[in-house]
Structure 1
Amino acid sequence: MAEKTIMLVCSAGMSTSLLVTKMQKSAEEKGIKADIFATAASDANAKLEEKNPDILMLGPQVKYMENDFKSRVDIPVVSINMQDYGMMNGEKVLETALETMD
């Protein structure tokens, strides 16, 4: 399986870094090669160009940006389930990303 690039966006880029760590751990356990990273909403456009992610996942605090991103990018854009985000359930968020990309 080719490496997948998963971009998470939140308001400041801080709260999502713990989720990224948990998603990376889950990917390693499943033998999935993935480049998973978080960025602040203010830096999202630059990161989209720089990293060319396969999917864009939005934290609950920036869910309002979903339609804007969908109108501008040709990759899947999904909002992270609020409960999964709150519980920092990296495995579930990774599953959502992989299912959405398939």
Structure 2
Amino acid sequence: MKKIMLICSAGMSSSLLVKKMLEASSKRGLDTEVLAVAEADVHKHVQNTDAVLLAPQVRFLAKNLKRKLEPQGIPVEIIDSIDFGTMDGDKVLNQAINMMQADN
């Protein structure tokens, strides 16, 4: 199972995107766990995470999270603003899959 964490300000705006990503994952027959967390709760959920995606509104966290997580083998990227705004679960799932493949 691959674990993907989405980070946004309060963990609320990304909840719909999580649902869409899980639907896309299910259609593809992938074993994926996707969760949305508030920026303040990242440390509680980062264990066994395979990829971290940041909502565009918290892009300022990218540098610090990359410095902390990438040495542990956890890639960090910012979700494309259009993909986030349209809640395109399929495209964001592709982004996460590509991140995890590049990390291996």
Q: TM-score range by the shorter chain?
A: over 0.9
Task: Report the TM-score when normalising by structure 1.
Answer: 0.93
Q: How does 1:80-91 map to 2 (within 5 A)?
A: 80-91=79-90
Secondary structure class of the residue paired with 1:88: coil
Name the residue aligned to 1:69.
65
Give 1:100 deviation, angstroms. Answer: 1.2
Q: Which runs of 5+ in 1 are unaligned?
A: none
- The one-letter code sitting in structure 2 at the alignment partner of 1:4 is K
Ranges of 4+ aligned residues in structure 1 off by more than 2 Å: none
Name the residue aligned to 2:29.
31
- Number of equivalent positions: 98
Task: Work out whether 1:79 is the aligned partner of 2:78.
Answer: yes
Give 1:45 deviation, angstroms. Answer: 1.3
Task: Report the TM-score when normalising by structure 2.
Answer: 0.92
Q: Note the aligned Cα RMSD (angstroms).
A: 0.7
Q: Which runs of 5+ in 2 are unaligned?
A: none
Identity of aligned residues (%): 41
